[in-house]
Amino acid sequence: MKGEKVDQRVKLTQVLLKNALVQLIKEQHISKISVRALCDAAGINRSTFYNHYADPYDLLMKIKQEIIGDIGRYINSQSINAKLPLSAQLLTRILEYFQDNVELFRSLLGENSDSSFQKDIMELAQVISEHVNPGFDPRTLNYIKTFGVTGSISVIQCWLQEGMADSPARMAELLIQLLYGGQNGLRNMS
Amino acid sequence: MKGEKVDQRVKLTQVLLKNALVQLIKEQHISKISVRALCDAAGINRSTFYNHYADPYDLLMKIKQEIIGDIGRYINSQSINAKLPLSAQLLTRILEYFQDNVELFRSLLGENSDSSFQKDIMELAQVISEHVNPGFDPRTLNYIKTFGVTGSISVIQCWLQEGMADSPARMAELLIQLLYGGQNGLRNMS
DNA sequence: ATTATAATGGACAGTGTGTTGGATTACAAC
DNA sequence: GTTGTAATCCAACACACTGTCCATTATAAT
């Protein structure tokens, strides 16, 4: 897919830094994490950090974009039928992806991260939300998408933080119901 | 309501600092705002800042809590009938409150703030969301509340950032529809 | 093996941090 | 008004972090 060959050293440096940041964010807010502490934790020279990133926020952004890319590629690998309209099957798969990387997402969606993740996912969700009834004007359509995406993310966030007590399949069903039928749509749920 | 008499000097200091932070957040991310710059902008001595707050994040949190308190008092001042179930009337009033303080909320809900506002509002929303069908288990109930509150906030956020093209009444109607009927509930909207 | 380039380590000036002590000033209570 | 209290200001402090150098070393690509 991408022709650029990446130097192994660069790759290692970036992986170490990313892992270190994910770890540190578990313990303290991103705003309190200094470049110094981050590099110490990663075992990377501070000069090297600046060769790749501007500051810890920049690194965090890159990490998130990478994940968005992964999920996006996965979604695109699915058949059109599975994408439109948003099926419980596809949603279940995505939730399983979250489940398989709990630690990562708990860190990235937790208290100590920042809020930009939702905005990124919003763009991603455009792909799978184009089936929304096109009878509305663009502004209203945007409200609907915003409502659904942001609400869903925060439910997933909640689900992750509290130990994933429900199965991905059940969560997917719940989300679909909420998205299309709202609270009233839930009255006839399992 | 509150018996504590606050020193005029303290009040002035806090107001100046809060105004300054709200202004600065319009231009740059909270993480880049130093105590120094904040105090310069407020015309307050840096030592004085530390008498009241730990850092700019702390100040931001206080500002938000204050607003939450205001809205909460307003909601509680309404009759029980108007509160349960969530009426378009009450929601319209709240949206008007947002509209009356556009600049403030644009700043506090914008890109350069942080995400904690939603969590605060979540607590607030517990008050007006207790009418949700209690037939569900607590966990599911929590998901429903989370979905609705977070989705609503982000729609309001969107509405503010893009110039409040729709009236508070229409937004209230839209939100009610989304909350109770989801996307399907919107098919029969104005 | 040679070449290119990434990472390291050390240093630098500049800036922000959080705290201190004392002088000054404004407030509230009487 | 007078007085005691307390908030603000001001200067200074040691310390940490920042962002950017450059010379050196290590390692990947060919």
Using DSSP's 3-state secondary structure scheme, residue B5 falls into coil
Reported as a single tens digit per residue, the pLDDT across A141-175 is 999 999 999 999 999 999 999 999 999 999 999 99
Question: Which segments of chain B have a pLDDT < 70?
Answer: 1-5, 79-85, 127-134, 188-190
* Angstrom distance (rounded) from CA A176 to CA A154: 14
- Using a CB-CB cut-off of 8 Å, the residues of chain A touching B187 are 133, 135
Average pLDDT for chain A: 88
CB B146 within 8 Å of CB B125: no
- Using a CB-CB cut-off of 8 Å, the residues of chain B touching A147 are 151-152, 154-155, 175, 178
Protein-to-nucleotide distance from the CA of A12 to the C1' of D22, whole angstroms: 24
- CA-derived radius of gyration, chain A: 19
Chain C: nucleotides below 7 Å from protein CB are: 5-11, 15-21, 26-29
pLDDT at B3: 45
Reported as a single tens digit per residue, the pLDDT across A50-81 is 999 999 999 999 999 999 888 888 888 876 56
Of B136, B153, B182, the CB nearest to A182: B182
Reported as a single tens digit per residue, the pLDDT across B4-38 is 668 999 999 999 999 999 999 999 999 999 999 99
pLDDT at A16: 98
Interface test with A, best of B143, B164, B173, B187 (most A CBs within 10 A): B143
Question: Residue B136 is encoded by which pair of tokens?
Answer: 């569900």
* Angstrom distance (rounded) from CA B55 to CA B58: 5
**What is the arithmetic mean of pLDDT over A112-125?**
79
- Secondary structure string (H, E, C) spanning B26-52: HHCCHHHCCHHHHHHHHCCCHHHHHHH
Nearest CA in chain B to A183: B180
Which of B121-129's residues contact partners 24+ apart within 8 Å by CB, and which partners?
Answer: B121/B68, B121/B149, B121/B153, B122/B146, B122/B149, B122/B150, B123/B68, B124/B68, B124/B71, B124/B72, B124/B75, B125/B149, B127/B72, B127/B75, B127/B76, B127/B83, B128/B75, B128/B83, B128/B84, B128/B86, B128/B90, B129/B86
Closest CA to A175 of A152, A159, A158, A153: A152
**What is the arithmetic mean of pLDDT over A86-100?**
90
pLDDT at B2: 46
pLDDT at B1: 45
**What is the arithmetic mean of pLDDT over A125-150?**
81
